[in-house]
């Protein structure tokens, strides 16, 4: 898989230029990590054909799906992809089995449905409607629906972000098992260093629309530029910052916190340093501090 993409994207109020190029190991799992708003989902959508890059080239198994120079742009329907959306996107009007049945191409055998249902441990749910399922169950169905077509590549957009830790671990194991069986080249968007370390063969790190690192998870994650925590300052008490992030509240001990930060500042912390951005851009743009 050989990808070069350029696209002007919207990040909050401003636009930024996404300009990346990477290869993914055939049959392997490539993780994409980076702060939210870095364009990770847009990359998956461009590969799927749901979003058109301004310039670039997408080549999968020697088939060219997109090439701005040669004006090639294969429609999403004709790209062999399995896409698991962040919010699952199961069809509420169809039962679990019907969701998989709908996904199947006309020439494919219905036996594939049972095979995948069994692989994902959801045979007992096949007559249920998605609304009756828990988050973890919905995620299994979404994965099952994505792989039942036997796509050439699997695109996973933070598939486990909304699940609790034990459910996440179980599903990660299932996904590893599936990957072992089908050897589908997989792109995994993830925030979670543990997940990436467990699952990915390779990882790329995005920042400001560019790939700043690519390599084995062990070396990239250890290098310390990856983000551990992102959030907003909730309260300040002398040397203690309370930060609210996506799912949790954390406190940090920072020398003389009350003079450096204000409530509402957004903050991102990596293993080596943390950055702070003011709410309004006319104040300080961005400054680095050593911890």
Partner 1 sequence: MNMSWSPLWLSLKLASITTLLLFLLSIPLVYIIYFYGRNTRPFLKAIVSLPLVLPPTVLGYYLLLLLRPEGWLGQLGLQWFNTRLVFSFPGLVIGSIVFSLPFMVNPILSALENLPDTYREAAYTLGKSRWNTLIYVLLPNIKASLWVGAVMTFAHTIGEFGVILMIGGSIPDRTRVASIAIYNEVEMLNYANANGYAAILLLFSFVVLILVYVYQHQRPQGII
CB of 140 to partner 1, least distance (A): 16
Taking the least distance from each CB to partner 1, the nearer of 21 and 80 is 80
CB of 94 to partner 1, least distance (A): 8
Whether 119 contacts 184, CB under 8 Å: no
Whether 6 contacts 54, CB under 8 Å: yes
What whole-number distance in Å separates Cα of residue 216 and Cα of residue 1? 17
Measured on CA atoms in the order 130, 132, 134, 136, is the torsion positive or negative?
negative
Taking the least distance from each CB to partner 1, the nearer of 102 and 222 is 102
Q: Which residues bind partner 1 (CB under 8 A)?
A: 45, 48-50, 75-79, 81-83, 85, 87, 89, 91-93, 102-103, 105, 131, 145, 149
CB of 84 to partner 1, least distance (A): 9
CB atoms within 10 A of CB 17: 13
CB of 91 to partner 1, least distance (A): 5
**241 φ, ψ to 5°?**
-105, 130
In our burial notation (b when 16+ CB lie closer than 10 A, e otherwise), range 186-195 reads bbbbbbbbeb
CB of 90 to partner 1, least distance (A): 8
Whether 136 contacts 175, CB under 8 Å: no
Taking the least distance from each CB to partner 1, the nearer of 130 and 193 is 130
Taking the least distance from each CB to partner 1, the nearer of 103 and 221 is 103
Whether 99 contacts 137, CB under 8 Å: no
> Nearest CA to 216 among 196, 233, 187?
196
CB of 175 to partner 1, least distance (A): 18
Whether 153 contacts 47, CB under 8 Å: yes
CB of 61 to partner 1, least distance (A): 17
The CA–CA distances, whole Å, from 31 to 22, 50, 125, 263 equal 12, 20, 30, 33
Taking the least distance from each CB to partner 1, the nearer of 66 and 83 is 83
CB of 76 to partner 1, least distance (A): 4
What whole-number distance in Å separates Cα of residue 253 and Cα of residue 251? 7
Whether 266 contacts 277, CB under 8 Å: yes
């Amino acid at each position: 898989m050989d990808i070069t993409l350029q696209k002007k994207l919207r990040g909050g109020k401003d636009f930024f230029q996404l300009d990346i190029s990477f290869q993914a190991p055939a049959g392997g799992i490539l993780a994409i990590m980076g702060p939210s708003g870095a364009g990770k989902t847009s990359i998956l959508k461009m590969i799927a054909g749901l979003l058109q890059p301004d310039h670039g080239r997408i080549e999968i198994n020697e088939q060219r799906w997109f090439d701005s120079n040669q004006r090639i742009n294969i429609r999403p329907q004709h790209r062999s992809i399995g896409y698991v959306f962040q919010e699952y996107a199961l069809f509420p009007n169809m039962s679990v089995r019907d969701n998989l049945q709908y996904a199947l191409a006309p020439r494919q055998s219905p036996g594939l449905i049972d095979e995948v249902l069994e692989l994902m441990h959801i045979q007992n749910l096949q007559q249920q409607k998605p609304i009756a399922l828990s988050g973890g169950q919905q995620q299994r169905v979404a994965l099952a629906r994505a792989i039942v077509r036997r796509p050439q590549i699997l695109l996973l957009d933070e598939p486990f972000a909304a699940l609790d830790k034990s459910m996440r671990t179980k599903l990660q194991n299932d996904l590893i098992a599936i990957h072992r069986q089908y050897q589908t080249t997989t792109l995994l968007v993830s925030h979670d260093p543990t997940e990436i370390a467990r699952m990915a063969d390779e990882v790329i790190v995005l920042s400001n629309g560019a790939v700043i690192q690519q390599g084995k998870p062990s070396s990239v994650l250890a290098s310390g530029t990856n983000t551990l925590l992102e959030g907003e300052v909730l309260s300040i008490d002398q040397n203690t910052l309370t930060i609210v992030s996506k799912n949790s509240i954390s406190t940090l001990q920072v020398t003389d916190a009350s003079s450096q930060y204000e409530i509402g500042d957004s903050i991102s912390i990596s293993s080596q340093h943390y950055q702070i951005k003011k709410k309004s851009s006319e104040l300080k743009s961005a400054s680095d501090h050593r911890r």
